[in-house]
Amino acid sequence: MTARVGYIPIVGTAPFFVASGEGWLKQGGIETAVTVFESGPNMIQALASGTIDVYVAGVAPLAVARSRGVDIRVVASTAVGENVVVAAPSLAKFFAAGVTPAAAFKAFRTANGKPARLATQPAGSVPNTVLQYWLWEVAKADKADIEIVPMGIDATQQAILAGAVDGGTVREPALTIIQTRNPQIKLVAGGEEVFPGQPGTVVAVSGAFASKNPEAVQSIVSGLVKAAALIKSAPTKAAPHVGAALGKGIVDPELIQKALVSPASRFEIDPRKIIEPSRAMQAYQVKLGSLEKELPFDGLFETQYYERAIKANG
């Protein structure tokens, strides 16, 4: 059977592509037809219309999709703490030792006569939500000092490199790529600092796919568990599978390998670990106004596939 998979091009999706590349999905009788998307919110339409069966992207848009009647179930996490905040050289120089982020943003605006422009993905996405959480709740920055510019993943990377924006949120491999190309780009907040327990990329399946193909869903989750272990024990073996999916052969394999072991790459398959952080993120989306009200999580997370995979592997 063929599973139609939508994904976003980030290292957080690595366990899925390692499981596929190592042949573990094929062993479970699954062929994959993959389509790349620029953000999780952009993928919701494809889910709603039934053009994809499997979603490999951020968790934040899924409760919203469920509230609109899209039957979608999170069966595994793949990575946590992925989104980090970087400053381009124009802004990085204000992030000196002993200077708080709020003071750095204020100093930038004073010096330039305009707010710092930070690129991130659209409202409702994980990157946008966690960036705002860090700015307003953690750093306590002044809203007048910052302008948030929503754009796609690739566009964000290009804009930071080109100096078209002063910083933004990135995930791997973008972090490794931009810092390799320009070492003056500074990491100013790590994943855990940006949002405690930051939930990130997940694997979710449509209700129709889960009902028709429970064995296929189990094969996917079992493959993810093996893949996370392989990434940890042999990143050199895992890197080519990830490079093929993300770089289409254009990203240097060494760079992908470096991104897999970066501080911004934490692979976590257990969906139970992200339920509470996902609730906290949703509550914050309500505060931001990107979500009208908190939505019930009943039925959104299905943990039994992971529990069975662990028992089988144990």
pLDDT tens by residue, 120-164: 999 888 999 999 999 999 999 999 999 999 998 889 999 999 999
Residue 266: which pLDDT band, with cuts at 50, 70 and 90?
very high
pLDDT band, very low/low/confident/very high, at 249 (cuts 50, 70, 90): low
Is 70 exceeded by the pLDDT of residue 235? yes
Of 194, 225, 249, the position where a domain reaches its end is 194
Q: For residue range 139-148, what is the model confidence (pLDDT) as tens digits?
A: 999 999 999 9
Q: Which of 139, 161, 194 is the last residue of a domain?
A: 194
Residue ending a domain, among 164, 194, 224, is 194
Contact present, 173 and 252 (Cβ < 8 Å)? no
- Does residue 126 share a domain with residue 32? no
pTM value?
Answer: 0.90
Is the pLDDT at 264 greater than 70? The verdict is yes
Q: Taking the mean position of all CA atoms in its chain, how far away is CA 97?
A: 29
Q: Number of structural domains, the chain?
A: 2
Give yes or no: residues 237 and 276 share one domain: yes
What's the mean pLDDT in 259-270? 94
29-39 pLDDT tens trace: 999 999 999 88
Same domain, 69 and 212: yes
Mean pLDDT of the chain, nearest integer: 93
Query: Which structural domain range is residue 145 located in?
Result: 84-194
pLDDT in tens, 184-228: 999 999 999 999 999 999 999 999 999 999 999 999 999 999 999
Q: Which residues, 6 or more positions from 93, have their beta carbon under 8 angstroms from its beta carbon? A: none
Whether 150 and 97 map to the same domain: the answer is: yes
Model confidence at 248, pLDDT cuts 50, 70, 90, reads: low
Pair (130, 259) in one structural domain: no
Q: How many CB atoms lie under 10 A from the CB of residue 48?
A: 16
Number of neighbours of residue 298 by Cβ within 10 angstroms: 7
Give residue 307's pLDDT: 97
The percentage of the chain sitting over the pLDDT mark of 70, rounded to a whole number, equals: 98
Q: Answer for the pair 82, 171: CB distance below 8 angstroms, yes or no.
A: yes
- Cα 288 to Cα 197: distance, rounded to the nearest angstrom: 19
pLDDT in tens, 75-103: 999 999 999 999 999 999 999 999 999 99
